[in-house]
Structure 1
Amino acid sequence: MDEAPELGREPTRREWAGFWCLICQQTQSAFNDKFAQFLLIPLGGWLAGTSSSIVLVAGIIITLPFFLFAPLAGWLSDRFSKRNVLVGSALAQSVILGLLCLAIIAKSLPMAILAAFALATLTAFYTPAKMGIVKELVGSRHLGFASGFQQMMAMLAILAGQIVAGIIFSDRLESSGDGWQAAYGPLWLLAILSLPVILLAWLIPPTPRGSTQPFSAALALHHGQQLRTLWSDRTLRRTSFGMAFFWGFAGFINLWSLEVAKELTGGGLEFGRVSSKFMAAASLGMVGGFGAASLLLRRRIELGWVPVAGVAMTISTLVLSMIDPSAPAFLMALATTAFFAAIFLTPLNAHLQDRCPPDKRGEILAAASLQECVAGVGAVALLYGLGSARDILGSPWWLGLHAQLLVAAIACGAITIYIVRLIPAELVRVVGLAIIRLIYRIRSTGSFPEKGGVLLLPNHITWADAFFLTAACPRPVRFVMEAGFTGNTAVRIFSQLFDTVPISSSKPREALRASAEALKEGHVVCIFPEGQLTRTGTLQELKRGFEIIARQAGCPLVPTWTDGAWGSIFSFEGNRFFTKFPYRLRYGISVAFAPAMAPDEADLEKIRRGMQQASAIALAERASDPAQANALQLAHVNALQRGTDFGVLDTDPLPDSLTALAIFENLFRAIRRESPFPDPSSETHWLGGNALREKIESSKIQHGGVFFDFSDHAKEPLAHSGWVHCPCLAINGVIIAMSMPDPPKAHPGSKDQKGCKPGALGILLPGFWIDGTTLRGPAIPEGLALPDGVTLDEEGFLFLP
């Protein structure tokens, strides 16, 4: 027997195939069920001369089994493999449809109603199994997507069954004049089409069964015990109440729309057509909502979408109450309300399935279904009560149909406020990530461990790095944070948003142990090994500690790089955070994950090299050719400034030999100013080689500017103390390393960072890494052999012998 996927493990191909078989089976089963029901309703209306009593009977038939058999349905789903329950359900549906055909042949309406009740009972037993098996097939990571897609296909099948059945019955009745004959042929075809569903159910991989109690007659009355099991866990209880509210809200809106159709048509011949339009609009809106939710939750279950959808439901319900029902905008508002209602439900549904204990999942899902039926009945009672009060009081305006909808809007607003108070961090997280994705176009590349603890080690460029990494990482990320910072309100909210691992620098052993424990629990834990935000755009010195954490936890380390973040408003580009405008919206960010390292291989030098390798992987995602890659490297360090001028000597051949320089100018609105001599009063930054260096050293100007020195003697001190000397290195026209002025402190408590170092030829640009004695990166795709004796220090400064 196949084991269910563990948390974080990718499902196998067989498990994915089983999920798609489940989707096909449940879609066909839902279509069969609704097709049969919506053949019997007009058949009953044809026999009785009115369909109102038949609709009431159908409503009782559909809901009653969930009340009667919820404990047994939950027990069955837990006692046996859910796959086997699905197979048995498929077999039973074929048999019941066959009996329904016999009832039509015998022209026995009571027998047909009994068969319809058997179909509804089968649905009550089938639902916990089909919902509960999803996590066992696809695991937690894909559960949000799978749950939304499952509900979308079920709603499509229900809508199609209702519409197709009504059309076929009406056409056949018109041609034959006999209701029995009109229902007979389609039902036989339905019974035949139900047979392949048995094979689809059989192809689903077997799943483990729970260790629930043996069968006893008392199980049939265990409704209270079943609900107590659901309510014993606060998270499950609150989630199930949210789901029950959805079904109550949906039932209220559905019945209210039927009342609107009745008022518009007077209950005459047009009632069916108008009510069908309303039903189709709501159903299609819900189908779209489930589809959208499956996409929103494709990476993980995000409960923050629940209050977002709740706000949208409240607004759309209020709008719906103000629109003339005869106007086309009414259908659009109805579909929009249903759309957001589906988004409201899907995360809750997935979360409930995810949090259920495996051996009681069927019982809990059956109890949740029971609650949903109670909520639906409550919605009917509420609408009936409002209608009765309206009749008794002489139809006052404040109890009109549009005013009644305000009750639903108020309830929706109240439940949304309650949910926001329960999960404020999830709401801010979803909204924050949505805003980040609007501003930034985030891509990720590289492989990432699918399960188990992972220590993520990224560079630290901006205040928004946590959002970038969260959006790019295929698994949820927990960030390590100094516990002393949580006294700040903003930092405390951040720690709640990202489920941080609090540590104390005053208790280093406890801090290491806390991080290691989180890794042992299977989480992805992120530590910024630089311990500070870079103000040069380059990788700062790495701090120790992560090696010990990884070895204690026995988990892999993943060096990571966020490319393109330098230049955003959250970076120190321009020597300031925040106080600048973005260059453009949908700013490109590329996050790269280098190959994972074993914990016994982790040391500062290897991790630094791994991060540099990740920077090359990330840059390759954003560059179309080597020259452009080198230009992007220039733009992502605090040397040449974007959008500003820089000076060159008109007789200096060096600038023209640097291919990336012209591309940098075009891409980032920098302007090269040629001059016969270096004049810092006209341009602050100057770039050149031997010719410019000679001019500067012979200059009589006391106060110079910044000189990016690519000359043959760049590592030697400049014989002019008035200039800021920034040694740089270019080989074969490719800029390899650059120095820059030491960046100012962002605030008085900031640590010093170096842009220059005596004897160094600059800092190796992000996007390069050294493989033995070969320099590699997208700017030099064939690699570049370095001179003997080249070294990099702990801050990335490059030294030549």
Structure 2
Amino acid sequence: MSQPNQFSLLKQRRFAPFFWTQFLGAFNDNLFKTALIVVITFDALSWTNLEPSLVTNLIPGLFILPYVLFSATAGQLADKFDKAGLTRCVKWLEVAIMVVAGIGWMTHHLWLLVAAVVGMGIHSTLFGPVKYAYLPQHLKKEELIGGNGVTEMGTFVGILAGEILGAILVVMQPHGLYFEAGATIFVAVIGLLVSYRIPPSPAPSPELKVDWNFVAESVRNLRFSSKNRVVFQSMLGNSWFWFYGAVLLAQLPVYSKDYLHGDHGAFVMLLTVFSLGVGSGSLLCERLSGGKVEIGLVPFGSIGLTIFGADLYFASNAFAISGAALAGTSADVMTLLGHHGIWRILFDFLMIGMFGGFFIVPLFALIQLRADPAHISRTIAGMNILNALFMVAAAGMAIVLLGQGLTIPQLFLVTALLNALVAVYIFSLVPEFLMRFLAWLLIHTVHRVHTVNAERIPSEGAAVLVCNHVSYVDAIVIGAIAPRPIRFVMDHRIFKTPFLGWIFRTARAIPIAPAKEDPWLMEKAYIDIAQALHEGDIVCIFPEGQLTRDGEINPFKGGIAKIIERSQVPVIPLALRGLWGHLLSRNKENIFNRAFHAGLRSKLALAVGQPVAPQDVTPDGLREDVAKLRGDWK
């Protein structure tokens, strides 16, 4: 079925005012911070005696410090009060902070500006839980990936636009500082006005009593979130991305000046390319995920972050040779673009941003989808606490390593290698991420899978899926299409297949054997199936009991009736089309012919039928339903 374009949300009041409010907030944050960093980097002596590299790592650290101190309180407020009203209070605070910053610009007072940085950190801390808890309250489940993608795109476009304008305004002589002060106050006022268009967003827990002890509440939030393993590991993955990004972005001003030998325009160019990458990656998530929350994109994003982060080190060293003639200059953008070495660096920044989008958007959507709805703002607040701790650690690591003599390109390499280690650790704890990635890779590289009525697979609640059994990859194809994990019941011999067996174990598949072969394993399988259905899982079985040997659908065995007799849940028939003749089917053609019988991007289809009520379930009736769904296409 065709899905509405994700940009159509921008025409709807339930999304548009919220989107523009958060866009203007991100824009103003960076309009202010970037101007301050540019001044410190390129005009340091007139503002402070501190080393520019120290200050440019210190400012982001001060900005996110309030996340550590106030996120727990912010999460409680977002669960207790209407989110629209709370947003307007936050926007009034932003106006006041920008007035203080304006005074700092006009009086040339650095520490007043630093105080405003902390103030904007408080502003962002209060708005964070509102921002990500608002979306699942107003969007349908199938809109979450698209809505998060547009929101992340808007956030990074706002960041980009703010960074560009901030870097331009502050160096305009002789009135740049006044332009900067006026612009930030103006944008804050516009954001306040737009926030009054946000529709009411009732509090999920209005009876909640706010605990102002931020330490105790922070521990309580994290402890509660840790009970849901997938949500908590997603929170850690999200925080790691902010660690990675904080290390990268904090070095850009000095990297642009000392390694690319550029003026402030080089800094803006790198920010532009990186932000465009994140924005495009965020939007592509909707297309690559097929409109559902596809966590298989997370490992894909992580791989790209490591590859292109490491290549940035080598590209920087190569540029040191090709751009040696620029040493001691402050080259503008056009001069830099005339050196071929810069294009590899720009490509790396673009790809880091794009794969970062692949990494972050599914994680946000997964947290919103699987977190307790009554606790979602506090879950987001807990994530913000972790984000803050990781970003403080990023600033600390950068300061220590640079102080020990590492160069900025070497710091990029260290971060990329750390990303690989962290990814392996997270995916070993929650193998569902990696399993979904392998399934996603299969149906986006080797095959093209068309779905028919896939929305009939329920996103929550127990159900049994029944499907024809054509090849060893049937379960992977079905699992890649489904909106949530499926517990597959499969022949114990297939369960033990090398490599594929690891995937099946990771997916918590249930092995079964014929009664005459292993009665104990058969009975255990039925007990495991009943337990899974009792816990609200989806279970998928292949009632033929074996792979087809001729492409036809074999008679369905009576096990399905036994399952439904124990667990009164609906049964949904499925039909796979196009897998007969696959290399991993039991087609008797020459193995070479089978490998290439349909080409590299062979077309498959998965058709989903209407649910069958438990009292109407019979093996013959289900076989007939599956046969009708499959048709003549084997």
Q: What TM bracket, shorter-length normalisation?
A: 0.7 to 0.9
Partner Cα distance (2:466, 2:228) in 1:
36
Q: Does 1:284 align with 2:276?
A: yes
The separation in 2 between residues aligned to 1:285 and 1:275, in whole angstroms, is 16
1:72-94: CA deviation from partner (whole Å, max 9, x where unpaired) = 22332233344543343345445
Check the 8 A contact 2:104/2:113 in 1, yes or no.
yes
Q: Please name the residue that 2:241 is paired with.
A: 246
Q: Which residue of 1 aligns with 2:391?
A: 376
Alignment partner, residue 214 of structure 1? 210
1:336 partnered with 2:336: no
Deviation (angstroms), 1:158:
1.1
SS in 2 for 1:322: helix
Partner of 1:24: 20
Cα-to-partner distance string for 1:402-458 (whole Å, 9 max, x where unaligned): 334332233223223323433456424422431343222211113615443332222
Question: For 1:443, which of 429, 450, 472 is the aligned residue?
Answer: 450
| Pairing of 1:74-93 with structure 2 (within 5 A) | 74-93=75-94
Counterpart of 2:333?
Answer: none
SS in structure 1 at match of 2:388: helix
| Deviation (angstroms), 1:577 | 7.0
Question: For the structure 1 residues 20 and 487, does the alpha-carbon distance in structure 2 shift closer, same or farther, using more than 3 Å as the test?
Answer: same
**How far apart in 1 are the matches of 2:314 and 2:110?**
43
Give the 3 Å change call, closer, same or farther, for CA 165–547 of structure 1 in structure 2: same
Within 5 A, what are the aligned runs for 1:347-426? 347-390=362-405, 399-424=406-431, 426=433
Give the deviation of 1:523 after TM superposition: 3.2
Unaligned ranges ≥5, structure 2: 1-8, 324-340
Structure 2: distance between partners of 1:257 and 1:47 = 16
Which of residues 540, 557, 568 is equivalent to 1:554? 568
Match of 2:190 in 1: 193
Contact 1:144 1:346 in 2 (8 A): yes
Q: Tell me how many residue pairs correspond in the alignment.
A: 590
**Which amino acid in 1 is paired with 2:194?**
V
Contact 1:594 / 1:614 at 8 angstroms: preserved in 2? yes
Matched residues in 2 for 1:97 and 1:400: separation?
A: 35
1-side partners of 2:57 and 2:585: how far apart? 64
Give the deviation of 1:125 after TM superposition.
Answer: 0.9
Alignment-derived partner of residue 393 in structure 1: none
**Counterpart of 1:69?**
70
| Identical counterparts, % of pairs | 23
Q: Quick check: 1:307–1:419 contact (8 Å CA) kept in 2?
A: no
CA distance in 1, matches of 2:68, 2:524: 52
Task: Confirm or deny: 8 A CA contact 2:129 2:381 kept in the other structure.
Answer: yes
Q: Which residue of 519, 527, 536 corresponds with 2:541?
A: 527
Secondary structure at the aligned position of 2:576 is classed as strand
Shift in CA distance, 612/401, structure 1 to aligned 2, threshold 3 Å: closer
Spell out, residue by residue over 1:457-505, the C-alpha distance to the aligned partner (whole angstroms, 9 max, x if none): 2222222222332344455433223568656655642432433245564
Sort the Cα spacing of 1:493 and 1:416 in 2 relative to 1 into closer, same or farther, 3 A. same
Which amino acid is 1:260 matched to?
Y
- Pairing partner for 1:34 from 30, 40, 44: 30
SS, match of residue 580 in structure 1: helix
State how far apart, in whole Å, the 2-side matches of 1:104 and 1:157 are.
Answer: 22
The residue aligned with 2:122 is 121
Matches within 5 A, 1:221-240: 223=218, 226-229=221-224, 238-240=233-235
Distance of aligned partners of 1:131 and 1:574 in 2 relative to their CA distance in 1, 3 Å threshold: same
Provide the C-alpha distance between the structure 2 equivalents of 1:272 and 1:240, rounded to a whole number of angstroms: 35
Give the C-alpha shift of residue 517 in structure 1.
4.4
Letter in 1 for 2:308: S
Equivalent in 175, 178, 197 of residue 178 of structure 1: 175
Secondary structure of 2:595's partner? coil
User: Structure 1 pair 188/563, CA: closer, same or farther in 2 (3 Å)?
Assistant: same
Structure 2 residue 260 is matched with structure 1 residue 259: no
Structure 1: 5+ residue stretches without partners: 1-12, 391-398, 620-632, 637-801
TM-score, reference length from structure 1: 0.64
Aligned positions of 1:98-177 closer than 5 A: 117-138=118-139, 143-168=144-169, 170=171, 173-174=172-173, 177=174
**Is the contact made by 1:429 and 1:497 (CA closer than 8 Å) also made in structure 2?**
no
Residues 226, 364 of structure 1: 8 Å contact kept:
yes
Corresponding residue for residue 471 of structure 2: 462
Name 2:551's counterpart in structure 1.
Answer: 537
The separation in 1 between residues aligned to 2:219 and 2:571, in whole angstroms, is 49
Q: Which AA in structure 1 matches 2:446?
A: I
How far did 1:35 drift? Answer: 2.8
Query: Which amino acid in 2 is paired with 1:252?
Result: V
Following superposition, the deviation at residue 126 of structure 1 comes to 0.8
Give the drift of 1:295. Answer: 3.9
**Which structure ranks higher in relative contact order (CA pairs < 8 Å, sequence separation ≥ 6)?**
2
Structure 1 or 2: more helix by fraction: 2
CA distance in 2, matches of 1:56, 1:552: 61
1:559-593: CA deviations, max 9, x gaps? 22222222332333345778733222222222222
For the Cα contact (< 8 Å) 2:47–2:108, is it kept in 1?
no
Alignment check: 8 A CA contact 1:547 1:603 kept: yes
Q: Distance in 1 between matches of 2:13 and 2:432?
A: 36
Contact 2:73 2:210 in 1 (8 A): no
- The TM-score normalised by the length of structure 2 is 0.80
Counterpart residue identity of residue 470, structure 1: G
Q: Point out the structure with the larger strand share.
A: 1
Alpha-carbon separation, structure 2, partners of 1:484 and 1:210: 54
**Residue in 2 aligned with 1:742?**
none
Rate the CA distance shift 1:222–1:43 in 2: closer, same or farther, 3 A: same
Q: How many Å apart are 1:127 and its aligned residue? A: 0.7
The answer to whether the Cα contact below 8 Å between 1:440 and 1:585 also exists between their aligned partners in 2 is yes
Aligned-partner residue type, residue 448 of structure 1: R
Pair 1:577–1:552, CA change in 2 (3 A): farther
* Cα distance in 1 for residues equivalent to 2:226 and 2:621: 51
User: For the structure 1 residues 305 and 120, does the alpha-carbon distance in structure 2 shift closer, same or farther, using more than 3 Å as the test?
Assistant: same
- Matched position secondary structure for 1:561: strand
- Partner of 2:434, secondary structure, is helix
Distance between the aligned counterparts of 1:224 and 1:474, measured in 2? 32
Q: Which amino acid aligns with 2:456?
A: F
Report the more deviating stretch, 547-556 or 26-35.
547-556
1:64-109 deviation per Cα after TM superposition (whole angstroms, max 9, x unaligned): 3223323322332233344543343345445655676788899988
For residues 391 and 219 of structure 2, the distance between their equivalents in structure 1, rounded to whole angstroms, comes to 19
Question: Does structure 1 retain, via aligned residues, the 8 Å contact 2:163–2:271?
Answer: no
Alpha-carbon distance in 1 for matches of 2:202, 2:79 = 13
Deviation at 1:124, TM superposition (A): 0.9
How many angstroms apart in 2 are the aligned matches of 1:108 and 1:257? Answer: 24
Separation in 2, partners of 1:258, 1:39: 11
Paired residues of 1:307 and 1:427 also in contact (CA < 8 A): yes
Which residue of structure 1 aligns with residue 606 of structure 2?
A: 591
Is the contact between residue 24 and residue 188 of structure 2 (CA under 8 Å) also seen in structure 1?
no
1:368/1:475 Cα in 2 relative to 1: closer, same or farther (>3 Å)? closer
The CA distance in 1 between the partners of 2:160 and 2:595, in whole Å, is 49
Once residues 428 and 184 of structure 2 are traced to their aligned partners in structure 1, the CA distance between those partners, rounded to angstroms, is: 50
1: distance between equivalents of 2:462 and 2:12?
24
Structure 2 CA distance for partners of 1:221 and 1:335, relative to 1, 3 Å:
same
Answer yes or no: is the 8 Å Cα contact 2:57–2:251 preserved in 1. Answer: no
In the other structure, the counterpart of 1:741 is none
Q: Give 1:316's aligned amino acid.
A: F
CA distance in 1, matches of 2:307, 2:58: 35
